Structure 1
Amino acid sequence: MPKRICLINGHPDPSPERFCHALTDAYQASAQEAGHIVDRLDVGAMEFGFLSSPQEFETKPPAVFDPVRTAMSEADHLVLIYPLWLGEIPAKTKAFFEHAASGEFFLATSANGAGWPSQRMKGKSARLIVTMGMPGFAYKLIFGAHSLKALEAGLLKISGFKPVRHTVFGGVQISEKSRLSMLEKTRTLGRAAR
């Protein structure tokens, strides 16, 4: 059965030669060939600032996020492709999610503020695809994949996304052969809408 996918290219640099762009293109093309509907968002092509106060997080984001929130709310599946920078998700990509989630879009508090927030993204699945220069096993074994786990638990799972799966592509600069293999794995995920 075809799915509606919100595909986010989380690389903050809009330059087309970035590997995350190639992965996003591969996922999109194979998903569409398989009959899935893809709403693509490119963080690097968007202009927005950073949130700097709790009041900003409590209000609706700028109008540039209207199509973002529509794509997320209509999606069955969310895919985020991003590079690991200084052990974390890039600052602009994090700011993208802060804006998208603001105004209780991902989590809604109860009227009296007591109790667990309501998960607004229930019924949706997610996939995180992270690229990095270090070997993927080193990121998982030595660094504990801490930023990936934080994004999974602190943003996606708490908001209701389930299941949340991830793919780690390490050593992206090592060889053309390994990058081709990563692209093929991404195409396979796109065809299956996973």
Structure 2
Amino acid sequence: MRRILVLDGHPHDDRDHYIHALASAYVQGAEKMHNVRRIDLAKLDFPVLRDPQDWKSGSVPESLVQVQDAIGWAEHIVILYPLWMGDCPALLKALLEQVTRPGFALEPLESGMYRKMLNGKTARLVVTMGMPAAAYALYFRAHSVKSLKRNVLQFAGVSPVRVSLVGSVERSDKYRRKWLRKVETLGRYGR
């Protein structure tokens, strides 16, 4: 039994968005075998960081303390989001900037380097997109997913980070249902 945080990273709360259904499918599968917490980005209200000094020495906004608590509690973190303009939504990136501050995700060292503080945690990224997943992975080299994986999660010690690219989401209802089943299975196994 694992402690799993599911972060629905779609910034719009319209429940018709496919990413919300995928997050629900993961939770549904995971709840059968694991302890699960879910956080919906669309329901959070927080300021965007504008000054690097705020990231280094400021405190996390009160509205995001629950997110840091959930990350600290979790053994496995699942982040689901739609690919927008080749990247994760800006609000998701803003959330990650707020919660992965020094003192929580990283500890600054005198050498100028950082000590990873989220060691022992694993993650899965589930990313939806209109283009075929193979085109994103091969032609675009999955650049933004690699950046989030390497520069945020692994930099803070989260490893391994597995990735599920869900391409051509407008293809057919049958295809979407297939992915809902796949993601539910991932949840059941805590992967």
Q: TM-score range by the shorter chain?
A: over 0.9
Provide the secondary structure at the position in 1 that maps to 2:31.
Answer: helix
- Name the CA distance, whole Å, in 1 between partners of 2:4 and 2:146: 22
Name the residue aligned to 1:90: 89
- Name the CA distance, whole Å, in 2 between partners of 1:104 and 1:92: 22
TM-score by length of 1: 0.96
Tell me, yes or no, if the aligned pair for 1:31 and 1:191 is still in contact at 8 Å. yes
TM-score by length of 2: 0.97
Tell me, yes or no, if the aligned pair for 1:61 and 1:103 is still in contact at 8 Å. no
Aligned length: 190
- Name the CA distance, whole Å, in 1 between partners of 2:49 and 2:103: 15
- Name the CA distance, whole Å, in 2 between partners of 1:75 and 1:158: 17
Name the residue aligned to 1:49: 47
Name the residue aligned to 2:76: 77
Q: 1:136 aligns with which of 133, 136, 155?
A: 133
Give ranges in structure 1 of 5+ residues lacking alignment. none
* Counterpart AA for 2:124: R
- Name the CA distance, whole Å, in 1 between partners of 2:46 and 2:102: 16
- Name the CA distance, whole Å, in 2 between partners of 1:122 and 1:22: 30
Name the residue aligned to 1:23: 22
* Counterpart AA for 1:139: Y
**1:84-106: CA deviation from partner (whole Å, max 9, x where unpaired):** 00000000000010011124321
- Name the CA distance, whole Å, in 2 between partners of 1:103 and 1:149: 22
Give ranges in structure 2 of 5+ residues lacking alignment. none
- Name the CA distance, whole Å, in 1 between partners of 2:67 and 2:76: 14
**1:9-48: CA deviation from partner (whole Å, max 9, x where unpaired):** 00000111110100000000110012x0111110011111
Provide the secondary structure at the position in 2 that maps to 1:33.
Answer: coil
Runs of 4+ in 1 over 4 A off after TM superposition: none
- Name the CA distance, whole Å, in 2 between partners of 1:158 and 1:47: 26
* Counterpart AA for 1:157: Q
Name the residue aligned to 1:40: 38
Once the two structures are TM-superposed, the CA of residue 115 in structure 1 deviates from its matched residue by 5.1
Q: 2:151 aligns with which of 143, 149, 154?
A: 154
Once the two structures are TM-superposed, the CA of residue 49 in structure 1 deviates from its matched residue by 1.9
